[in-house]
């Protein structure tokens, strides 16, 4: 049906108010499982150091009555270290933008501070859980904190057919060194995960977390021995399909299965969280920068390092497929 001649429509109108929702919808994930589970520590210098120790292997220790045994050689502690890495963002907001009335937030500067804070948190999680070597830094290059995968050198295995191509050197006198990725990853197996859990326990650890990326979280959910939640269903209600794993009951204890969006999906880690900490030289902070012209400048940063209190309590299954 045609409109009557001369009907004034929205297509001709120039004074109608816009319909802009006063909400901003952001689905980007901000959960940081490893950072949240790790202990918090204090660093007092850009090179953060700590010590590890271990007991000698158990022996029969049979002594003759009345004998005077010789002295046992004292084994010194091991002194290890990591670099405190700086992660930061800086941004400018013009004076005009601060003066106008934006939709979805009362104050542009405050909104951006919160947003950049979340992004910084995600960056730190990725840096802590990756496969990054220690770097001391120079006046022209950034310091780099050695990350989780690089520390794990005692208990590890690979799904690759050639284990030597996935060497995991770990800590040395020059700091923690990144492991070597194999070129042909394969599907994670329950046998390999069990082997790493057993190896951690044999070393003295009590692993309590299996941390894994999204693709291999699904694979782990297919393992036998997985525990599932029991859900009571009311008569006449819809049924609930349980198709995920929240915990894995191993021969050496119960482990939470924790998916992480920011670690590398190609590596599954078995962790005793008692022996992991994030040491902060400077915790999360924001501050104004010098005002230049008609804008407000802010910086948000953290200076931190991964403290591997004893990597032998944890382990990894490396070189996993991430698709297929």
Mean pLDDT of 254-270: 95
Q: What is the SS3 assignment for 231? A: coil
- Neighbour order of strands in the sheet with 268-271: 156-158, 315-318, 268-271, 209-212, 253-259, 247-250, 226-227
Q: Which two tokens stand for residue 129?
A: 């859980």
- Neighbour order of strands in the sheet with 39-42: 39-42, 276-288, 295-308, 85-94
Quick count: other Cβ atoms within 10 Å of Cβ 48?
A: 22
Please state whether beta strands 315-318 and 268-271 pair in parallel, antiparallel, or not at all (unpaired).
antiparallel
Using alpha carbons, select from 95, 121, 130 the residue that is nearest to residue 280: 121
> Residue 32: its pLDDT value, please?
92
Tell me what the pLDDT averaged over the chain comes to. Answer: 88
Q: Which two tokens stand for residue 2?
A: 């045609």
Q: Which two tokens stand for residue 268?
A: 């599954």
Using alpha carbons, select from 223, 207, 177 the residue that is nearest to residue 315: 207
> Residue 226: its pLDDT value, please?
65
**pLDDT cut 70: percent of the chain above it:** 90
Q: How far apart are CA 17 and CA 226, in angstroms?
A: 56
Asked which of 98-112, 204-218, 272-286 is least confident by mean pLDDT, the reply is 98-112
> Residue 71: its pLDDT value, please?
87
Mind giving me the DSSP string for 4-59? PTT---TTT-S-PPP---S----------HHHHHSEEEE--SSEEEEEE--PPPP-
Using alpha carbons, select from 316, 297, 299 the residue that is nearest to residue 308: 316
Q: What is the SS3 assignment for 87? A: strand
Interval 116-162: pLDDT, tens: 999 999 999 999 999 999 999 999 999 999 999 999 999 999 887 77
Those residues with Cβ within 8 angstroms of residue 122's Cβ, 6 or more apart along the chain or in another chain? 28, 29, 30, 32, 262
Burial class (CB in 10 A: 0-12, 13-18, 19+), 279: buried
- Going by the DSSP 8-state scheme, the letter that residue 130 receives in this structure is S
> Residue 29: its pLDDT value, please?
73
Mean pLDDT of 259-273: 96
Helix (H), strand (E) at residue 201: helix 190-203
> Residue 239: its pLDDT value, please?
53
> Residue 225: its pLDDT value, please?
67
Mean pLDDT of 239-252: 72
Interval 223-241: pLDDT, tens: 876 665 545 555 555 555 4
> Residue 258: its pLDDT value, please?
94
Burial class (CB in 10 A: 0-12, 13-18, 19+), 4: exposed
């Amino acid at each position: 049906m045609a409109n009557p001649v001369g009907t004034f429509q929205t297509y001709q109108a120039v004074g109608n108010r816009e319909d802009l929702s006063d909400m901003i919808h952001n689905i980007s994930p901000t959960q940081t499982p490893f950072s949240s589970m790790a202990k918090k520590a204090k660093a007092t210098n850009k090179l953060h150091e700590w010590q590890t120790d271990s007991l000698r292997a158990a022996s029969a220790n049979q002594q003759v009555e009345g004998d005077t045994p010789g002295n046992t050689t004292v084994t010194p502690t091991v002194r290890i270290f990591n670099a405190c890495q700086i992660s930061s963002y800086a941004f400018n907001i013009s004076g005009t933008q601060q003066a106008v009335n934006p939709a979805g937030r009362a104050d542009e500067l405050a909104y951006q501070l919160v947003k950049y804070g979340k992004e910084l948190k995600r960056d730190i999680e990725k840096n802590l859980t990756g496969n990054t070597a220690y770097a001391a830094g120079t006046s022209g290059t950034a310091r780099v904190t050695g990350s989780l995968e690089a520390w794990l050198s005692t208990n590890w295995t690979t799904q690759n057919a050639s284990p030597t191509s996935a060497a995991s050197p770990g800590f040395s006198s020059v700091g923690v060194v990144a492991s070597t990725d194999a070129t042909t990853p394969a599907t994670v197996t329950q046998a390999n995960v069990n082997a790493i859990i057993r190896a951690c326990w044999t070393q003295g650890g009590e692993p309590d977390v299996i941390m894994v990326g999204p693709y291999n979280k699904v694979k782990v959910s297919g393992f036998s021995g997985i525990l599932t939640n029991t859900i009571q269903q009311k008569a006449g209600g819809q049924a609930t399909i349980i198709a995920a794993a929240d915990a894995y009951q191993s021969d050496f204890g119960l482990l939470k299965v924790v998916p992480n969006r920011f670690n590398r999906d190609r590596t599954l880690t078995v962790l005793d969280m008692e022996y992991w900490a994030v040491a902060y030289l400077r915790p999360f902070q924001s501050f104004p920068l010098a005002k230049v012209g008609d804008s407000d400048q802010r910086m948000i940063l953290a200076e931190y390092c991964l403290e591997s209190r004893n990597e032998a309590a944890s382990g990894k299954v490396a070189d996993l497929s991430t698709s297929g």
